[in-house]
Structure 1
Amino acid sequence: MSRLVIVLCLALLAAGCGFKPRASLAVATSLGPVAVSTADPYSPLGQDLATALERAGATAAVEGQPAATLQVLTENLRTRPLTFESGASVREYQSIYRVEFQLRGADGSLRLPRQSVELTREYTYDAIGSIGTPAEERLLRDELRRDMVAAILRRLDAALRTD
């Protein structure tokens, strides 16, 4: 009985704060088949975007069939030093990941004009210690790419909902 009361209280609390489950993406219903186009056909971002679109319910494009195209126009990841230690060695870095993309419909019309998304992350690098190792840098790049895929899908969803 007490568990039921707790569950009901949590449900009322969640409803009272405005919580609602995320709706399905509009990409799946309004575009039809979608292809992802990148300068590098083996781009991890392009592959992750294609997978995320399929998970969102969009059908993958079939060769020779008309399909909407998500074009990744530029993809740039750069790292710059943020702070230095007394010996002029870098202590913290900032990674900046910038992607420009646009969406064309199956008929070739521009459904979403050129958009730019930029994500940044700061991290500490210690050449002597175990923090900030190259493996962590790769992990950070993978995390940035996952966040970029989510940001692009949110942009697509918002733009297609207003159409």
Structure 2
Amino acid sequence: MSRLLIVLCLSLLVAACGFKPRASLAVASSLGPVAVSTADPYSPLGQDLATALERAGATPAVEGQPAATLQVMAERMRTRPISFQRGASVREYQTLYRVDFQLTGADRKLRVPRQTVELTREYTYDAVGSIGSPAEERLLQEELRRDMVATILRRLDAALRAD
């Protein structure tokens, strides 16, 4: 009996705070086939976006048929030092990832105007220890790319729901 009461109270608390599960992405239903266009055809971001759109239910574009196009117009990742320690060696770095994109429909009308997304991460570099190794930097960049894909999909979803 007490377990039931606890479950009931927790359910009421969750409902009272406004929690609700995230809705599925509307990208798939409103766009039809989607092609991802990048300056580099082997861009990991472009490949990840195409995969994420398929997982969201979008149909991949077929060559020669009209399709919406998600165009990645610019993609820049750079790392810069943000703090130094004695001896002028770098203590902390910041990695900045910036992507410009837009979405055009199969009818060539601009569905989502050009937008810029910028993500940053800071990390500590220790030349003596294993903290901040080049492998960690690669992992950080892969994490930024995953976050960028999710951010772009959320922006597309929000813009298409507003239409």
TM-superposed deviation, 1:4: 2.8
The 2-side partners of 1:68 and 1:40 are apart by 19
TM-superposed deviation, 1:5: 2.7
Counterpart in the other structure of 1:66: 66
Gaps (5+ residues) in structure 1?
none
CA RMSD of aligned residues (A): 0.9
Classify the secondary structure of the residue corresponding to 1:155.
helix
Classify the secondary structure of the residue corresponding to 2:59.
coil
The 1-side partners of 2:29 and 2:104 are apart by 15
The 2-side partners of 1:7 and 1:63 are apart by 53
TM-superposed deviation, 1:112: 0.9
Post-superposition CA distance 1:60-109 (Å, at most 9, x none): 11111111000000000001100000110000000000000000100111
The 2-side partners of 1:90 and 1:82 are apart by 8
1:38 maps onto 2:23 in alignment: no
Counterpart in the other structure of 2:85: 85
Classify the secondary structure of the residue corresponding to 2:86.
coil
Counterpart in the other structure of 2:135: 135
Counterpart in the other structure of 1:147: 147
Q: What is the count of residue pairs matched by the alignment? A: 163
TM-superposed deviation, 1:142: 0.5
The 2-side partners of 1:134 and 1:4 are apart by 52
1:47 maps onto 2:70 in alignment: no
Counterpart in the other structure of 2:6: 6
Post-superposition CA distance 1:17-41 (Å, at most 9, x none): 1000111111111101111001111
Classify the secondary structure of the residue corresponding to 1:42.
coil
- Supply the AA of the counterpart residue of 2:128: I
Classify the secondary structure of the residue corresponding to 1:87.
helix
- Supply the AA of the counterpart residue of 1:106: A
Identity across aligned pairs (percent)? 83
Moved over 3 A (4+): none
The 2-side partners of 1:68 and 1:5 are apart by 51
* TM-score for both structures, normalised by structure 1: 0.97
Post-superposition CA distance 1:89-148 (Å, at most 9, x none): 000000000000000100111111110000010000001111111111011001100110
Gaps (5+ residues) in structure 2?
none
1:97 maps onto 2:101 in alignment: no
The 2-side partners of 1:47 and 1:5 are apart by 49
- Supply the AA of the counterpart residue of 2:83: T
